[in-house]
Amino acid sequence: GAVVSQHPSWVICKSGTSVKIECRSLDFQATTMFWYRQFPKQSLMLMATSNEGSKATYEQGVEKDKFLINHASLTLSTLTVTSAHPEDSSFYICSAPGQPNTGELFFGEGSRLTVL
C-alpha cells in the first residue's frame, strides 16, 4: 500500500520561531497533498490543499502567511508554521490520495507541535 511519511513526529519550540513539517509520499507520486490540524479529542480540520508546482489552496480562516505550504516535488510537501505561538500548538497531519486515485487517502503519522 501507499506510504506517507511525516517528520518530525513531535517538536517543541519557543514562541516566535518557525517550524517546518515535512510530508513525503514514499512509494508513489502525489501531485496533491492535504494538511490538517487536530485538537485533542476533536476531528481533523482541513487547513489547505498542497499542489505540486503551484500555490496551495487554503481553507477559509487559515492564514496563508502563517502556515506556509510548499510542494516542490511530486513526493514532498512542507508546512512551515511561521512565528509560532502557544495557540498554534496542535497535532498536524498530512495525507495524499494514492495512485490510481481510488478515493482513499493515505495519512502520515502526524506531527505534534508544542510552542512554549
Among 17, 29, 42, 99, binds another protein (CB under 8 A): 42
Candidates 59, 62, 2, 64; CA nearest to 30 is 2
Amino acid at 3: V
**Which sign does the torsion angle of CA 70, 34, 74, 31 carry?**
negative
Q: Tell me whether residue 82 or residue 105 sits nearer to another protein (CB atom).
A: 105
Smallest gap from Cβ 32 to another protein, in A, equals 7
Name the site residues for another protein (rule: CB under 8 A). Answer: 4, 6, 32, 34, 36, 41-46, 49, 57, 91, 93, 95, 97, 101-110, 112
